[in-house]
């Protein structure tokens, strides 16, 4: 169902008044650490579940469960977010931040303020930057090859402004800051935008302008002219995902670039835009969420891990000490190990990861990284068996941990296990655009004398290779497989 709305502006913030009592809320797909109280935290969890359901409706082919765990903090006010992510307030433009997104050590962290309210008359998502990142992650892990940036970033930009109300989800209302950027007069030629790839100077020099242009093009193709081109955009995506050259796919589905220049420019200059409204997922019910208090030592450990991910070692060490003074938690040992790891103190990091594992940490990366620190090319059977145990635990804790499956496949091959290529292919399925997993699968298939399967994975690796090192590995492995074929 398509409705038409006028361009509207942003929201107001209201202070929260809850005390610092930390809780953990678990919904079907999200775990949230919060000091914002049960009500606001439940509302945020419900909105996140609705966002995930929206992706399922729009992208039925997508892998919605993230390979990297998403760690969510719901914070009651600006001061709470400032304490957790101080870097944003150290800049001259600091203040007014409502959401922080960070990646670190095989997981993603999302911190959101719950004291921002959506004005009922306005349709701009205060968490748009985090929604952009969330949809980008889903898109990246769901396709077997890299998509053209105009499409991947433009699509994520359109969906980033998802506005969730009690009864409906608004998908893609116009984004004021993109329109302001485009109306300043600086523009990217449409042909250059479409031709750009990941290493393009257009992206590196002015990402905000690139995203604004990409948003405008995708929004036009989805909603312009009463959605006349939306099906063609879907066909374009299907062709590219299945291996068609992006430029060929564009011409076959969307036509000549020159024919779109005028319509897209006129679209940006308009004052009224169409977008989509879908019903909320009625299966998501707040009463099914579980809420439990978090002990102070565990809260401090979780904060320490966030500080590590945002590269704040001073704050991280203070939180580690706070956790230990309160009785300790395995997460504090993981945070300590991560800091030591970044300082290249391998022996100390190995000891800290060992303490975390022995203390029963459920952090899959801790098991994976300890296995990596134990690995040597001449490792004996006892060490390899220990590494195998750690990696098996890692994939049991995170069944979507592609790197752990890849590593486990190689270790099992060293130990003489039967058919380790199956584990390598699990990594390929989880991260189909990763050339390294393809190379591992190709080598293991060749060792199992499945040479046709090996060449298939090697060809995919060649197409995905990023940089001279991976290209060299492809060439060397190809020569080795060809020798096996001829032998």
CA 107 to chain centre: 9
Structure token digits, residue 83: 């304490």
* 62 backbone dihedrals φ, ψ, rounded to 5°: -80, 150
Average pLDDT over residues 282-306: 96
Residue 62: predicted pLDDT: 87
Q: What CA–CA distance (Å, rounded) separates 13 from 76? A: 11
Confidence of residue 209 (pLDDT cuts 50, 70, 90): very high
433, 463 in Cβ contact below 8 A?
Answer: no
CB 413 within 8 A of CB 420: yes
Query: Within 10 A of 197 (CB to CB), how many other CB atoms are there?
Result: 12
The CATH class given to the 2-287 domain equals mainly alpha
| Segment 275-289, tens digit of pLDDT | 999 999 989 999 999
Q: What is the mean pLDDT of residues 407-425?
A: 96
- pLDDT digits 0-9 by tens, 439-459: 999 999 999 999 999 999 999
* Of the candidate ranges 92-101, 292-301, 470-479, the one whose mean pLDDT is the lowest: 92-101
User: pTM higher than 0.75 for the full model?
Assistant: yes
Pairing of strands 23-26, 168-171: unpaired
- pLDDT tens for 61-85 read 888 999 999 999 999 999 999 999 9
Please identify which residue in the block is written with the tokens 């993230």. Answer: 66
What's the confidence (pLDDT) of residue 95?
A: 63
Sequence spans of domains, the chain: 2-287, 296-361
Please say if the pLDDT value at position 353 is more than 50.
Answer: yes
Distance (Å, rounded) from C-alpha 209 to C-alpha 206? 6
Which residue, among 386, 339, 332, has the nearest Cα to 359 in the 3D structure?
332
Structure tokens at 240: 């590219």
Tens of pLDDT, residue by residue over 110-125, are 999 999 876 545 688 9
Instruction: Locate 255 and state its tokens.
Output: 């036509």
What integer is the mean pLDDT of 92-112? Answer: 84
- Alpha carbon distance 16, 35 (integer Å): 10
pLDDT at 58: 87
Closest CA to 300 of 330, 320, 327: 320
pLDDT at 15: 40
The residues, any chain, with a CB within 8 Å of residue 357's CB and separated by 6 or more, are: 366, 367, 370, 390
Residue 121 is predicted with a pLDDT of 59
What is the model's pLDDT at position 192? 95
Percent of the chain with pLDDT over 90: 79
d(CA 430, CA 137): 12
Pick the residue with more confidence: 93 or 37?
37
Tracing tokens 């066909």 back to the chain, one arrives at 235
Q: Is the pLDDT of residue 367 over 50?
A: yes
């Amino acid at each position: 169902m398509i409705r038409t709305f006028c361009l509207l502006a942003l929201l107001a913030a209201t202070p929260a008044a809850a005390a610092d009592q930390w809780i953990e809320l678990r919904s079907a797909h999200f775990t949230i650490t919060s000091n914002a109280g049960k009500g606001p935290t439940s509302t945020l969890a419900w909105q996140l579940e609705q966002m995930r359901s929206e992706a399922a409706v729009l992208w039925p082919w997508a892998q919605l469960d993230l390979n990297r765990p998403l760690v969510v903090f719901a914070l009651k006010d600006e001061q709470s977010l400032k304490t957790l992510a101080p870097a944003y307030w150290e800049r001259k433009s600091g203040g007014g931040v409502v959401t922080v997104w960070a990646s670190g050590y095989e997981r993603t962290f999302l911190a959101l303020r719950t004291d921002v309210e959506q004005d009922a008359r306005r349709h701009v998502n205060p968490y748009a930057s985090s929604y952009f990142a969330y949809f980008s992650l889903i898109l990246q892990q769901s396709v077997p090859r890299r998509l053209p940036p105009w499409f991947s970033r433009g699509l994520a930009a359109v969906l980033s402004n998802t506005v969730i109300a009690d009864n409906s989800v608004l998908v893609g209302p116009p984004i004021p800051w993109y329109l302001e950027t485009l109306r300043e007069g600086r523009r990217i030629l449409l042909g250059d935008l479409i031709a750009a790839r990941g290493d393009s100077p257009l992206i590196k020099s002015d990402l905000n302008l690139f995203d604004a242009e990409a948003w405008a093009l995708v929004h036009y193709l989805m909603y312009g002219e009463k959605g006349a081109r939306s099906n063609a955009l879907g066909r374009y995506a299907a062709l590219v995902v299945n291996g068609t050259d992006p430029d060929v796919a564009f011409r076959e589905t969307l036509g000549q670039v020159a024919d779109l220049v005028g319509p897209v420019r006129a679209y940006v200059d308009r004052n009224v835009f169409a977008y989509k409204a879908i019903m909320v997922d009625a299966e998501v019910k707040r009463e099914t969420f579980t809420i439990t208090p978090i002990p102070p030592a565990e809260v401090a450990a979780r904060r320490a891990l966030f500080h590590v991910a945002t590269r704040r070692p001073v704050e991280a060490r203070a939180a580690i000490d706070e956790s230990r003074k309160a009785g300790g938690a395995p997460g504090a040992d993981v945070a300590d190990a991560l800091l030591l790891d970044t300082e290249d103190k391998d022996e100390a990091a190995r000891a800290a990861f060992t303490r975390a594992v022995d203390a029963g940490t459920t952090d899959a990366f801790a098991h994976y990284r300890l296995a990596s620190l134990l690995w040597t090319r001449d490792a004996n059977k006892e060490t390899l068996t220990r590494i195998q145990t750690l990696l098996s635990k890692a994939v049991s804790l995170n069944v979507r941990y592609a790197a752990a499956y890849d590593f486990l496949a190689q270790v099992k091959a060293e130990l003489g296990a039967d058919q380790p290529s199956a584990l390598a292919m699990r990594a390929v399925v989880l991260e189909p655009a990763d050339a390294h997993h393809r190379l591992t699968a190709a080598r293991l298939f060749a060792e199992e004398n499945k040479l046709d399967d090996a060449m298939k994975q090697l060809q995919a690796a060649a197409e995905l290779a990023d940089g001279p090192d991976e290209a060299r590995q492809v060439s060397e492995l190809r020569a080795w497989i060809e020798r096996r074929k001829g032998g």
